[in-house]
Amino acid sequence: MLAGQKEEIHRLWDDLSDFDTSQSQEAVLSLMAALVKLAGVANATWAGAIRMSGGDERDPLQGWRVATFMTLAPLALQSDEGHLGGVLRLWDRREIDPSFLLPLKEVGTFRTYSLRRGLPAEWFETPFYHRHYGFCGVHDVVFVAFPLNEDCESHFGFYAHQPVSDETIALLTYAVRGIKWFHRHLMLSHGLLMASAPLTPTEHKVLQLLLTEMTEKRIARELVLGESATHRHVVAIFRKFGVRSRAGLISLWLNHPAGLDVGIPGAPGRPD
């Protein structure tokens, strides 16, 4: 990696730290946009993955579910079957494709893996590849996985229309590995860390505003929700994070108490 590239990544980390705790979505989109430009790739995604407890021991995916998913440029990965050609729906139905097993290699450790390096050449001639990747010109995808604990991982994906060089993979790996605090904030903001269950989309929106100085009444107006409905969401958020107040909630972002990085036993997959 060139010294100039490393310095640019350091500036990117500095810019990332300037986002408020309530701006997790804006922050991750900004990060993905900067890395796409720096690496010369076409698109990027972020996914929060959790492992269900008490699952089927025969499950080839070991209980892992994609609990939340975000794309920098969604339309670039859109097909008639929906986002990413329905890959996530196939994952949830356990209709196993060889590409689904790549994330499970050395699961629980920081790792980088890619379709071109992890799958045989003949896979790129399969209907699955053409239906979910080839149709929009995706030649390769590089993933960088950051485990927060044994049941919770943050994954960034980078989509390219050309072969991805070892140098580019090293650059992306360096950029994603150096921001553990950010992975933690992302997972917290979706209820995937230190929470009893993932947040629903509405709860996620309420949470972002709870982390500001907005009153519940103002949050209700901002999200066009009734005040009683907003309060129910606030109570549900407090219950999921095991806190009794907004101050207790905010402290989770400011502190890292020992023993609180628990998984989500029995949690559902993607929230409704």
- HSE, CB side, 13 Å, CA atoms: give it for residue 92: 12
List Cβ neighbours of 120 (8 Å cut-off, separation of 6 or more): none
CATH topology of domain 3-189: Beta-Lactamase (3.30.450)
Pair of tokens at residue 245: 């107040």
Sign for the CA dihedral angle at 114, 11, 178, 2 comes to: positive
Closest CA to 188 of 72, 39, 31, 25: 25
Q: CB–CB of 88/67 below 8 Å? A: no
Distance CA 90, CA 242 (A): 33
CA angle (139 as vertex; 134, 142 as ends), nearest 5: 120
- As a dihedral over the C-alpha atoms of residue 180, residue 183, residue 184, residue 186, rounded to 10 degrees, the angle is 160
Per-residue pLDDT tens digits of the chain, which is 272 residues long: 778 899 999 999 999 999 998 899 999 999 999 999 999 999 999 999 999 876 677 889 999 999 999 999 988 887 666 657 688 888 988 899 999 999 999 999 999 999 999 999 999 999 999 999 999 999 999 999 999 999 999 999 999 999 999 999 999 999 999 999 999 999 999 999 888 889 999 999 999 999 998 999 999 999 999 999 999 999 999 999 999 999 999 898 886 543 334 333 333 333 33
Closest CA to 100 of 92, 108, 91, 109: 91
Cβ-based neighbour number of residue 230 at 10 Å: 23
